[in-house]
Structure 1
Amino acid sequence: MQLKYQQVEQFLLYQLKNGDFKEGDKFYSEAELKKRFDVSSATVIKAINELVSKGLLVRQQGKGTFVSRARRGKLVKFFDLEKDNDADETVTVLSIKREHDPRILKELNLASINSYFHIIRLRCSNNTPVQLHHTYLVSEYFNQVALKEPSYYESIYEKIRQDSGIDLFSTPSDETTGILFPAPQQVKTLLQLQSEQQPIAYIRRHSYLFDDKAIEYVESYKRWDYFKIQIKTV
C-alpha cells in the first residue's frame, strides 16, 4: 500500500508527464494541495520534495514552485567530512531562550510582533569542542518541554520530526560558508581556541517549508582544523 505522500506524488507526476503543466509554469501552492488531497503540510512537502529531487520541479525563494525548464541535469552532493569518523561525539544544549531580535526576525521573515526560540548547542568530538550552533527556531515548532529539559533538543531535527512530522534533513534549504578571523571572543572561548591566529568556519543556513516559509535559521561556528567539504557529482 502506498503512503499518502506517494499517492500525492504519483498524481502530480501523472499531471506533469501528461502535459497539464508546461515547462516554466507555476505549480500548485501548498494550500491548494492540502485542500485538494485533504492531507497535512508534512505530506505535501514530502511529495513535492520527491519531485524536486527528480528534477521535475524547482523552487524559487519568495516566488513559489515551478515546473523545471530543464528536466534533466547534473546533481551534486556535498559531504561535510569529519576529522575522525570514529570519534566519540556529544552535543550539549547550553541555553534556550525566547527572543525577538529584529535581525533574526528578518532572517526568519517574521513580523516584529513575533518571537522565536534561540537554542545554543556545543558539539564535541572526543571531548574537544568542535562546533558551536545557534539555532533560531520558529515558535510554533518549538516543544515547551525543552524549557524544563534543555537536553530534549540535543538533536533538534530528530525532535522536530517526532513532534511535527517534518523531516528537515530533506526540506529545502540554503547555506553559505565563510571564514571568520579573528573569531568572536565567546566563540573562541567555547571552542577552546588557543591562539588569536586561528580562523573559524562560519556557516549560515535557512531551512524552509513548502512555499518558502522559514522554519529555522542557524548560525554555526566550526574549528578550522575540523572543517572540510567534499563535492561529488551523481
Structure 2
Amino acid sequence: MNQNQSLLPRYQQIKHFILDKIERGEWSEARKVPSENQLCEQFSVSRMTARKALQELTASGVLMRQQGLGTFVAPLKPQSSMLAVRNIADEIRERGHGYSNRVLLLEAEKATEAIAVSLELPESATVFHSIIVHYENGEPLQWEERHINPRFASDYLNQDFSQETPNVYLNRVAALTEATHVVEAVLPSESVAGLLSMEPGAPCLRILRRSWCRRGVVSLAKLMHPGDRYRLGDHLQFT
C-alpha cells in the first residue's frame, strides 16, 4: 500500500486491495472474495467497515453477491453511455481536417480539496496536471484541463501528447470503463477566451468529465469549446 492509499478511510483501503487483485489478474471472474469476517481480521476493522467496502463494489458491478454462497468477482460488462467519450483528434480527422495541439502545462502538483475529493485521494496528495489546446486546421477548438491520479497513469508526465492525446493514452494504460459528464454553457475566463480566439462575452460549451477504470477514478477533465464553433451530438439506440 502506498502512502496516499494509507491515508484513505479504511473501507476505501479494502476496496483498493480488492480492485488491485482483480486488475492484476490474481482474482479472476467468478472467484470468491474474502468474507466480511476475513476482511475484518486482515485489516483490523469493524464488520460494518468491511461490509461497506463490499457493498460499494457490488453496487458498482465489480462484485456480485449470491445468497448463501458469498461474494464473487463479477464478469466485466461492456459499458454504454448517453454521451460517447470521443477522442478530439479522431473527431477532427473524420471531418477530413488537420489536427494539432499545444501543450501549455504538464506537471505534478498537490491536489486541492476539490480535486482530491473528485479523484478519491487524500487532500494534498500528488496529482498530475495538464492543460492542452486542440486545433482544427490551425483554429483552436478545445481547451482541455486534466487532473490525473498517478496511481493509474504513472508515466503521464513523460508522454509526447503531440503524438497521442491524453484521452488515447489513458484508455491504453488504464483501460477506462466508465465516465460521467456535466455539460453546460458558461462564460470562459479571459485567458481561456484568448487561447480559444473568442470574442469577449462569447459563451463556451463546457464539459466536465470524470473517468474510471475498475480500480477507481483515473481522471477529472474540464473541456471548453467555443460556442459558435462546436456542436455536441450523439446517436442513441433504444432497446
Q: TM-score range by the shorter chain?
A: 0.5 to 0.7
Per-residue deviation, residues 30-85 of structure 1 (Å, max 9, x unmatched): 456443339xxxxxxxxxxxxxxxxxxxxx79943176xxxxxxx76546796881
Partners of 1:62 and 1:220 lie apart in 2 by 31
Q: 1:233 Cα deviation (Å)?
A: 1.3
Q: Mark the runs of 5 or more structure 2 residues left unpaired by the alignment.
A: 1-17, 30-55, 65-79
Match of 1:172 in 2: 178
Alpha-carbon distance change, 220 to 144 in structure 1, aligned in 2, over 3 angstroms? closer
SS in 2 for 1:188: helix
SS in 2 for 1:159: helix
Partners of 2:163 and 2:103 lie apart in 1 by 7
Partners of 2:104 and 2:120 lie apart in 1 by 26
Code of the residue aligned with 1:206 in structure 2: it is R
1:37 aligns to 2:28 (yes or no): yes
Matches within 5 A, 1:52-63: 63=59
Q: Could you tell which deviates more after superposition, 219-228 or 199-208?
A: 219-228
Alpha-carbon distance change, 185 to 126 in structure 1, aligned in 2, over 3 angstroms? same
Of residues 116, 124, 141, the one that matches 2:135 is 124
1:158 aligns to 2:161 (yes or no): no
Code of the residue aligned with 1:220 in structure 2: it is L
Alpha-carbon distance change, 119 to 233 in structure 1, aligned in 2, over 3 angstroms? same
1:207 aligns to 2:211 (yes or no): yes
1:232 aligns to 2:228 (yes or no): no
Alpha-carbon distance change, 62 to 185 in structure 1, aligned in 2, over 3 angstroms? farther
User: Retained in 1: the 8 A contact 2:116–2:124?
Assistant: no
1:189 aligns to 2:189 (yes or no): no
User: Retained in 2: the 8 A contact 1:105–1:115?
Assistant: no
User: Retained in 2: the 8 A contact 1:145–1:152?
Assistant: no
Partners of 1:174 and 1:186 lie apart in 2 by 26
Match of 1:221 in 2: 224
User: What's the Cα RMSD here?
Assistant: 3.4
Partners of 1:153 and 1:114 lie apart in 2 by 29
Alpha-carbon distance change, 99 to 134 in structure 1, aligned in 2, over 3 angstroms? same
Code of the residue aligned with 2:178 in structure 1: it is P
Partners of 1:228 and 1:160 lie apart in 2 by 22
Q: Could you tell which deviates more after superposition, 75-84 or 133-142?
A: 75-84
Alpha-carbon distance change, 109 to 129 in structure 1, aligned in 2, over 3 angstroms? same
Partners of 2:128 and 2:169 lie apart in 1 by 14
Alpha-carbon distance change, 114 to 228 in structure 1, aligned in 2, over 3 angstroms? same
Partners of 1:220 and 1:62 lie apart in 2 by 31
Alpha-carbon distance change, 77 to 151 in structure 1, aligned in 2, over 3 angstroms? closer
Q: 1:204 Cα deviation (Å)?
A: 0.4
- Give the count of matched residue pairs: 171
Code of the residue aligned with 2:154 in structure 1: it is F
Partners of 2:81 and 2:180 lie apart in 1 by 14
User: Retained in 1: the 8 A contact 2:100–2:162?
Assistant: no
1:143 aligns to 2:155 (yes or no): yes
1:87 aligns to 2:97 (yes or no): yes
Q: Mark the runs of 5 or more structure 1 residues left unpaired by the alignment.
A: 1-28, 39-59, 68-74
Match of 1:134 in 2: 145
Match of 2:60 in 1: 64
